[in-house]
Amino acid sequence: MSLQSTGAGPADLNAFVGDYFPDRSLPSDGLIVQSWYRSVVEHGLEPAARGNKVVLSAAEIHRHQDFHHDYMSIAGQGVSGLAKRVGQAGFAVLLSDEHGIALDSRVPTTGSAYADSGLIVGSRWDESLVGTNGIGTGLASGSALIIHRDEHFLRENDRLSCSVSPIFDSLGNVRGCLNASCLNSNGPKEAQYLTLQLVIMYARMIENAYFRHSHRNTLTLMVKPCDEISDLANEQLLALDDQGRVIGANRAAFVEHETHGHGVLLGRRLSDLLPVDVDELLRLNNGGANATRLRVGTRLVEVGLRMPVKVRSAKPADSRPTAGIHRAPTLGQLSGADVRLQQRVARLYRVLDKDLPILINGETGTGKEAFARAIHQASRRRTGPFVALNCAAIPETLIESELFGYRSGSFTGANKKGMKGKLEIANGGTLFLDEIGDMPAHLQTRLLRVLAEREISPLGADTPLPLDIQVISATHQNLSQMIAGKAFREDLFYRLNGMTLQLPALRERSDIGSLIEAVLRDQPGGEHCRIDTTSMALLSRYAWPGNIRQLINVLRYAVALADNGRITTDCLPAELLDQAQALHSPAPVEARPPLARLAADDEGQHLLEALRRHQWNITAVADEFAVARSTLYRKMKKYRLVAPNRLS
């Protein structure tokens, strides 16, 4: 929550933290004051709390790193460079993702002090868990800052002094944080300023490398002032689409644009920013071979061009065609940031390669097949075949031969040479039985026998064939109900269900926002688009009966209609707008109930009386009610109880 949204001015917040922390001096940095306020009122934390630190399990770390593979490998050089410079002075360097999870950590020595303080891979530093801290507050504020010693909200973190800079992507979103922390620094906060400058410099280098990677197939521009000594951090990078419009920028370009109050940068034409258009610039720069000096207002700038890198196929001439231009998503990518799903996938990792059949359950379009493929890729069978059979998509009469195959001459009209069944083709790999609930009853019996005996006898074959397959089945149906109604064999159910992976519907996913962004980036042209806030709110609260498949279609439609890469509500299908509005238009509520009425509630009234009785001494009232002070502040906020000396 920002100062504005709290409705309070800086003086109110200062008074608040002054009251709450009588033993601490008021931070000079207003961002820290706001963060302390958030820690108490929004996150309900207590400074003396212990055990709030969370470190992900090895499997979860593996998945996170897998998910952030590109970002980590691009940032890796910057992390090493910074660690080399500050390591000897006793600083640990951490790289986090946008949720405050440490993905990379370089500590100067192997002692346990750094690990004990949470400076390790997998530790979670989001403000909602541990209150004010370098990474969490850097992410929440979007600003570079130092959190020195007892500026940390939790007392258990007050050994740390952290210098941090957010890392922005080319759309201006925070992608993560770069952080340098030391332990038990005796000096004043000012002694950390030099470290902060180094951290900022490396964060800018990581951003620029990330920008170049993201826009390697796009025409990009480097613009820097023609000063005698030009600061690398001032170099602006801009990516342009075919029409010469800005589709991405680095932090320096965003800051320059904002500083001069030029409005939104993305979508602007090059000719709005520089006294040339793209063709002219290409001519002046000799097709990108040299840089050009241009006068912009009173300043002289140097403008260089980088031509798109032509994507050359590294594929050997005889290689098999790939399924698409994107690699199939991994389990980490599919589970995204939904914690419940991540936990389920963590459990899945533990049964992987243990010869247990897996049953995936979920509504249509939730990613059952995508998960099955990712499980196959994560298993030791990844070099073997992945064979899918959709039991609902082929006629009942053909399922048998599809599954079991037949040898030549086994029935009239059959292929003369015979046909291998999916079970046989999948040997050594994974068989994915989609819509298993539609498997005809007599084939359920046969399948059960095959899975029990681990061998198949194709129609017309003399000898059985040993079978070594991982079976993954999937359904959107409730198999337990089908068993009760005798529509599905119970013994087959147990044979297929070594473990169930329940996939949440899209509307149930806690990471729906980031999932929408990720799916958008995956669509052709989607990586250069941005969803505006209203559309994002609509997309996030829509019911999505077709789940991720429907989301993909909606986003493709939106990308096609987007103007200047901006996805607005005009780009969304009408039925989605109608339904999202009808389903979720909030019931009319009184926006600001009067204080008198709130205080008339029993709890509010009691609280008000106690506050008056104790002359608004928060600690005394908290003691009387035996609640934490943070709880009391939350309740006061709820009932809008404000001390008389705070009423403006």
Ligand X SMILES: Nc1ncnc2c1ncn2[C@@H]1O[C@H](COP(=O)(O)OP(=O)(O)OP(=O)(O)O)[C@@H](O)[C@H]1O
Residue ranges binding ligand X (CB under 6 A):
329, 334, 336, 362, 364-370, 434, 476, 519, 548-549, 552
User: What's the longest Cα–Cα distance across the chain?
Assistant: 97
Q: Exposed, middle or buried: residue 574 (CB in 10 Å: 0-12, 13-18, 19+)?
A: exposed
Smallest distance from ligand X to CB 529, Å: 16
Smallest distance from ligand X to CB 427, Å: 23
Q: Which residue shows structure tokens 């929408």? A: 516
Smallest distance from ligand X to CB 601, Å: 43
Helix (H) or strand (E) holding 630: helix 629-638
Cβ–Cβ contacts within 10 Å for residue 303, how many? 21
Query: For the CA atoms of the chain, what is the radius of gyration?
Result: 30
Nearer of residues 63 and 148 to ligand X, judged by Cβ: 63
**Secondary structure of residue 386 in the 3-state scheme:** strand
Smallest distance from ligand X to CB 548, Å: 4
Nearer of residues 503 and 611 to ligand X, judged by Cβ: 503
Nearer of residues 47 and 367 to ligand X, judged by Cβ: 367
Nearer of residues 76 and 546 to ligand X, judged by Cβ: 546
Nearer of residues 519 and 562 to ligand X, judged by Cβ: 519
| Distance of alpha carbon 315 from alpha carbon 600, whole angstroms | 73
Residue nearest to ligand X (CB): 367
Smallest distance from ligand X to CB 334, Å: 4
| Distance of alpha carbon 122 from alpha carbon 59, whole angstroms | 10
Nearer of residues 457 and 553 to ligand X, judged by Cβ: 553
| Distance of alpha carbon 503 from alpha carbon 521, whole angstroms | 22
Q: What are phi and psi of 177, to 5 degrees?
A: -140, 150
| Distance of alpha carbon 368 from alpha carbon 359, whole angstroms | 10
Smallest distance from ligand X to CB 308, Å: 26
| Distance of alpha carbon 16 from alpha carbon 37, whole angstroms | 8
Strands (E), 20-144: 54-55, 92-97, 102-106, 123-124
Q: Which residue shows structure tokens 């002046």? A: 284
Smallest distance from ligand X to CB 405, Å: 24
| Closest of 6, 33, 5, 3 to residue 147, by C-alpha | 33
Smallest distance from ligand X to CB 345, Å: 11
Nearer of residues 252 and 388 to ligand X, judged by Cβ: 388
Nearer of residues 276 and 391 to ligand X, judged by Cβ: 391
